[in-house]
Amino acid sequence: MLVGERGSYACRTDVADVSVPATLQATIAARIDRLGRAAKHTLAAAAVVGSRFAPDLLASLEVDPVVDELISAELVDQVRFTQRAEYAFRHPLIRAVAYESQLKADRARLHRRLAAAIEAREPESADQNAALIAEHVESAGDLHAAYGWHMRAAAWTTSRDIVAARRSWERARTIADALPTEHPNRAAMRIAPRTMLCGTAYRVRVNVADAHFDELRQLCAAAGDKASLAIGTAGLVMDHAYQGRIREASRLASEAMALIESLGDPTLTVGLSVPPRSTPRSSVVGGLTCCGGHKGLSTWPTVIRLKATSVSGPR
């Protein structure tokens, strides 16, 4: 669960999912109880911020930082001694106890303030910070906004870190599935992340012939969303080709081309008909041409970026 060394431990599990043994929790809680009121508020806000925190960010949460007392109590350490000081929890379990000891309403309020503060401090970096903002908005309980931020984070990372992008789409999918059935946009919100997960699975060698694609097909059929189904189906053809399942790819390619041509969208027709140049060389899969090495075969990533942007979050 924990890696690193003093002052730079990292917890591989989200702090909200950490279970602290009762005896250890009581020991840490007793040390926290001995703190002054201002120091307690500082520790609580810092626990919401993360394993590392800076006083100026705490100030944006309307907290007057008192860190000297926390250092004396051996709860936090100073890890950066530049003009912009930075501190870290002495141990991840200290942060877990400080986090869990707060009322849920208080934690939600701090998460909401923190998300707003991160966005306001660097508005030009909102896309880059979208994943972090999404985490705090989701922890605040605003699932609709969190969905939008997760989708926005995925759109920004699609061409930079596809694994991170897929992680954001998975979070968005989970949120959408949890929405009440009467939610007016539930169908579209469930379709969008599944479309991107299926359409990009070939990039991480993930077999999309699973529940995601089956669910996508059912959802698109119910909503009449041919464009999303076309992207997901083309992604499945790509995945079959990459995995050497040429016969399966060939069978599905005919279905995919018929669907693509029925859209009447030139961008999607060209983009989905021509996978990227990294596709297995010299294989022709039905109507989907898979010829490696041709400079013109690069429109698929463009389609994925356009789709990712079209379903991204708040601007």
Lowest mean pLDDT among 42-51, 88-97, 153-162, 228-237: 228-237
Q: Mean per-residue pLDDT for 20-42? A: 89
On the question of pLDDT at 223 being above 50, the answer is yes
> What pLDDT score does 11 carry?
58
Within 13 Å and on the Cβ side, how many CA atoms surround 1?
Answer: 11
Q: Give dist(CA 147, CA 64) in Å, integer.
A: 32
- Amino acid residing at 199: G
- Entry pTM: 0.79
263 or 50: which carries more pLDDT confidence? 50
On the question of pLDDT at 227 being above 70, the answer is yes
* pLDDT tens readout for residues 119-139: 998 899 999 999 999 999 999
Pair of tokens at residue 53: 């925190």
Write down the mean pLDDT value for the chain: 82
Residues 169 and 61 in one domain: no
Residues 161 and 75 in one domain: no
Residue 193, in any domain of the structure: yes
Residues 44 and 170 in one domain: no
Strands 86-89 and 76-80 come out as antiparallel
Residues 208 and 303 in one domain: yes
> What pLDDT score does 295 carry?
32
Residues 265 and 179 in one domain: yes
Residue 254, in any domain of the structure: yes
Residue with tokens 């929890």: 89
For the chain, the domain total comes to 2
> What pLDDT score does 293 carry?
32
Residue 17, in any domain of the structure: yes
Residue 111, in any domain of the structure: no
> What pLDDT score does 2 carry?
57
> What pLDDT score does 126 carry?
93
Q: Mean per-residue pLDDT for 66-83? A: 93
Residues 180 and 292 in one domain: yes
Q: List phi, psi (to 5°) of 260.
A: -65, -45
> What pLDDT score does 170 carry?
95
Domain enclosing residue 38, as ranges? 2-102
> CA nearest 78: which of 46, 118, 102, 31?
46
* pLDDT tens readout for residues 265-308: 777 777 666 544 344 433 434 444 443 333 333 345 555 555 55
218 or 239: which carries more pLDDT confidence? 218
Pair of tokens at residue 75: 């709860």
The strand pairing partners of 285, in sequence order, are 288
Q: Give dist(CA 313, CA 311) in Å, integer.
A: 7
Q: pLDDT-based confidence at 258, cuts 50/70/90?
A: confident
> What pLDDT score does 187 carry?
94
Length of the chain: 315
Q: pLDDT-based confidence at 205, cuts 50/70/90?
A: confident
On the question of pLDDT at 186 being above 60, the answer is yes
On the question of pLDDT at 188 being above 60, the answer is yes
Q: pLDDT-based confidence at 72, cuts 50/70/90?
A: very high
Please state, for a pLDDT cut of 90, what percent of the chain lies above it: 52
Of 84, 102, 120, the residue that ends a domain is 102
Residues 36 and 175 in one domain: no
The domain spanning residue 50 has which CATH number?
1.10.10
Q: Give dist(CA 309, CA 65) in Å, integer.
A: 39
Residue 291, in any domain of the structure: yes
Q: pLDDT-based confidence at 224, cuts 50/70/90?
A: very high
Q: Mean per-residue pLDDT for 162-189? A: 94
On the question of pLDDT at 37 being above 90, the answer is yes
Residues 167 and 282 in one domain: yes
Question: Three-state SS across the chain?
Answer: CEECCCCCCEECCCHHHCCCCHHHHHHHHHHHHCCCHHHHHHHHHHHHHCCEECHHHHHCCCCCCCCHHHHHCCCEEEEECCCCCEEEECCHHHHHHHHHCCCHHHHHHHHHHHHHHHHHHCHHHCCCCHHHHHHHHHHCCCHHHHHHHHHHHHHHHCCCCHHHHHHHHHHHHHHHHHCCCCCCCHHHHHHHHHHHHHHCHHHHCCCCCCHHHHHHHHHHHHHCCHHHHHHHHHHHHHHHHHCCCHHHHHHHHHHHHHHHHCCCCHHHHHHHHCCCCCCCCCEEECCEEECCCCCCCCHHHHHHHHHHHHCCCCC
Residues 53 and 190 in one domain: no
